[in-house]
Structure 1
Amino acid sequence: MAQVQPAYEERPRRRGRRALVVLVVLLLVLAGLLVVADRVAVGVAERAIADQVRQEVAKQQAQSAPPEVEVGGFPFLTQVLDGRYERISIVLREVRGSVQGDAISLPTLDVDARDVRASLDTLRSGQGEVVAETVNGTATISYDSLAALLDRPGLKLSEQGGKLAVTAPVDILGQQLTVTGTADVTVGEQGKVGLRFNDLNAEGLPNLPLARTLLNNYARGISIDVPLPDLPFQLALREVRPQPEGLTVTADAKNVPLNAAG
């Protein structure tokens, strides 16, 4: 007959399973502590970079609310040791530059810096350079702010079919008419946005050369170069596109210092 094994022989196997469970728990706790330490280090670096970005913005004679910085990539600590960061996102609000007078401020400038080089000593001491291989900036100019710049009573701007559209009441030869049409939007010199209203019409416009001349004069009067503030980080204006929420401005630059090097 088969012999029944004594119960005490099961105990080493149970103790082995218990030790494995304890080891797994310890590893999970250690992993959690490493994640916490990683996130704490991210917060410290983001504050340090934000302070250096603030100095750089001031150095370039621009103004904004305190920068909001987010360092991407995980784990962060390996990026610190390597001195190279995948991505740093910077949000600047209420950006105003050295341009005076009627220059339009940018409510929000979103900056996306890629392949950023910054040594641990630079982050700790604030001395040295934080350099991004590529920087892309995006901002939106509201239609209300553009309409205020054009300074024509009742004029409204919007996006229609991917184009900048205008609607405005106009008095032509004693008649109150509603003018509608679109504008060509271009990137001009010295960081200006060109608005050219070349296609305006008005329902009920008198079939007279003088009426058409007055309408064309109105179109020329609202065709302007919109001055933008000087953009930080050496950003150069590349494209302007009408969007439902406003004119979206995009700019870029390469090998850009993000801080005022000490």
Structure 2
Amino acid sequence: MRALRITLILLVVLGGLFVLADRVAVGFAEDEAADRIKSTEGLTATPDVSIEGFPFLTQVVGGELDDVKIGIKDYEASTGGTGSSADTIRIDDLDAEMHGVAFSGDYSSATANSATGTASISYAELLKAAKPEPVDVGFGIKTQVTGLSDGGDGKVKVAVEVTVPGSKAAKTLSVLSSVTVSGDTVKVHADSLPKLGVQLAEGRIRSITDFQQKIEQLPGGIKLDKVEAAPDGVEISVKGSDVRLVG
């Protein structure tokens, strides 16, 4: 009985040491991965990296991690242009979960079999995609999109400032718009057009109310999937396959 107790105690101690070693190893790997992702993506801040699953060491021996979660607070995505600050758009709280992450023997590269995630774009940031200056849509009427907000039921409320010749002050109208994703582009399309008091071609009015924002070069090559209006901005779902984390 005494020998059995000693054996059990040794097993418990060894098990505890293994768990401790496993947690130390995964913590080191998470820090190393975060630094490499920061360097690969050119981030200004170190992302959060969490390697899921236990034990970690047996996953390392197999050369593939089950799941890796990555969180990037602020990410400057490309809009496809060149030469100005308007050529990027800030993506907030980009959280992605990578599945089946295979890595090279020297850990210089890592690729996820698939990835899913979420992110958001503030209304102030999305507003930059609208025309920045008032536009004459006909008969001297000048219009400009001045604000975006949550319209409820998955819609975006678009505030349109209208200045009519001879009037003392501009007035603000609002329209509810649908927001969708087409490829790498977020599109805002008015469900109905504001009443300006005169007959104008629909295309002229939509040249103001409708706009779009291209979003390219997301981390690892993940792509836009879906978008929906939310209280503080638009929420985006992303997905991808063969997503390269580092290397």
Do they fold alike, i.e. is TM over 0.5?
Answer: yes
Amino acid at match of 1:184: S
Q: Take 1:64 and 1:196, find their aligned partners in 2: how far apart are those partners? A: 34
Which residue of 78, 81, 86 maps to 2:58? 78
Displacement, 1:42?
A: 0.3
Displacement, 1:176?
A: 5.4
The residue number in structure 1 matching 2:149 is 157
Displacement, 1:22?
A: 4.9
Q: Report matched runs for 1:62-211 at 5 Å.
A: 63-98=43-78, 99=80, 100=82, 101=84, 102=86, 103-119=88-104, 121-123=105-107, 126=108, 129-150=109-130, 151=132, 152=144, 155-172=147-164, 174=167, 177-189=171-183, 191-201=184-194, 208=197, 210=198
Amino acid at match of 1:162: G
Query: Residue 182 and residue 153 in structure 1: after superposition, are their counterparts in 2 closer, same or farther (change >3 A)?
Result: closer
Displacement, 1:227?
A: 3.0
RMSD over aligned CA atoms reads 2.9
Does the 8 Å CA contact 2:150/2:157 hold for their aligned counterparts? yes
Matched, 1:245 2:215: no
Amino acid at match of 2:234: L
The residue number in structure 1 matching 2:26 is 42
Q: Which has more helix, going by share of residues?
A: 1
Does the 8 Å CA contact 1:105/1:228 hold for their aligned counterparts? no
Displacement, 1:196?
A: 1.4
Matched, 1:259 2:241: no
Matched residue SS, 2:246 = coil
**Worse overlay, 109-118 or 251-260:** 251-260
Give ranges in structure 1 of 5+ residues lacking alignment. Answer: 1-15
Q: Take 1:214 and 1:64, find their aligned partners in 2: how far apart are those partners? A: 46
Amino acid at match of 1:246: G
Amino acid at match of 2:158: V
Matched residue SS, 2:89 = coil
Amino acid at match of 1:197: A
Does the 8 Å CA contact 2:160/2:209 hold for their aligned counterparts? no
Displacement, 1:172?
A: 4.7
Does the 8 Å CA contact 1:96/1:230 hold for their aligned counterparts? no
Displacement, 1:26?
A: 3.8
Query: Residue 24 and residue 242 in structure 1: after superposition, are their counterparts in 2 closer, same or farther (change >3 A)?
Result: same
Q: Take 1:154 and 1:130, find their aligned partners in 2: how far apart are those partners? A: 44
Amino acid at match of 2:13: V
Amino acid at match of 2:25: A
Amino acid at match of 1:196: H
Q: Which has more strand, going by share of residues?
A: 2
Does the 8 Å CA contact 1:238/1:252 hold for their aligned counterparts? yes
Give ranges in structure 2 of 5+ residues lacking alignment. Answer: 133-143
Q: Take 1:72 and 1:88, find their aligned partners in 2: how far apart are those partners? A: 6
Structure 1, residues 185-237: CA drift from partner, whole Å, max 9, x if none? 22235x221111241446xx7xx4x1x53998555313111132421211222
Percentage of matched positions with identical amino acids: 29
The residue number in structure 1 matching 2:139 is none
Displacement, 1:146?
A: 2.1
Amino acid at match of 1:161: D
Amino acid at match of 2:72: L
Larger Rg: 1
Q: Take 1:74 and 1:64, find their aligned partners in 2: how far apart are those partners? A: 31
Count residues with an aligned counterpart.
Answer: 228
Q: Take 2:91 and 2:63, find their aligned partners in 1: how far apart are those partners? A: 32
Structure 1, residues 121-163: CA drift from partner, whole Å, max 9, x if none? 323xx3xx31210022321001222235435575241141122
Which residue of 35, 41, 44 maps to 1:51? 35
Matched residue SS, 1:258 = strand
